[in-house]
Amino acid sequence: MYNEILQGVKSKHSLTSENAINNHLQNLQNQVKSLRQAFKVFPVRFDYTDVKIQQAYLFAYYPHYTELLEYALNSANSSLNNSFPSKLLLFGSGPCPEIIGYLKFLNGQNQISRMNLKVSIFDIASTHWEYSRDITFNYIVPSYTNVHTISKWRSKNFRINVPLDNVNLSEPQLVVYQNCLNEIDLSDYDIIKSNFEKLFDNLPSKSIIAIIDFHEYPDVVTLISAIQANISSKSGFVLLRDINSGVINKRSNYRNPPPIIRENLMTGIPFEIQNGLIPRSKVKFTYSLIRKE
The pLDDT tens digits of the residues spanning 70-114 come to 999 999 998 998 889 999 999 999 999 999 999 999 999 987 888
Q: Looking at the predicted structure, is the pLDDT value of residue 273 above 70?
A: no
- What pLDDT sits at residue 43? 93
CATH 3.40.50.150 given to domain 2-292: yes
- What pLDDT sits at residue 198? 95
Percent pLDDT > 90 in the chain is: 85
Residues 219/186, Cβ–Cβ less than 8 Å: yes
| pLDDT, tens digit, 9 for 90 and up, residues 195-213 | 999 999 999 999 999 999 9
pLDDT band at 274 (very low <50, low <70, confident <90, very high): low
pTM score of the predicted model: 0.95
- The secondary structure of 125-183, three-state, reads CCCCCHHHHHHHHHHHHHHCCCCCEEEEEEEEECCCCCCCCCCCCCCCEEEEEECCHHH
Partner residues linked to 120 by β-bridges: 89, 154
Percent pLDDT > 70 in the chain is: 99
Chain centroid offset of residue 178 CA:
5
**Pairing of β 207-214 and β 282-292:** antiparallel
User: d(Cα 146, Cα 171) in Å, to the nearest integer?
Assistant: 24
> Taking CA 130 as the corner, what is the angle to CA 129 and CA 131, rounded to the nearest 5 degrees?
90
Three-state secondary structure call for residue 204: coil
Q: Mean pLDDT, to the nearest integer, of 50-75?
A: 97
Mean residue pLDDT across the chain: 94
pLDDT band at 269 (very low <50, low <70, confident <90, very high): confident
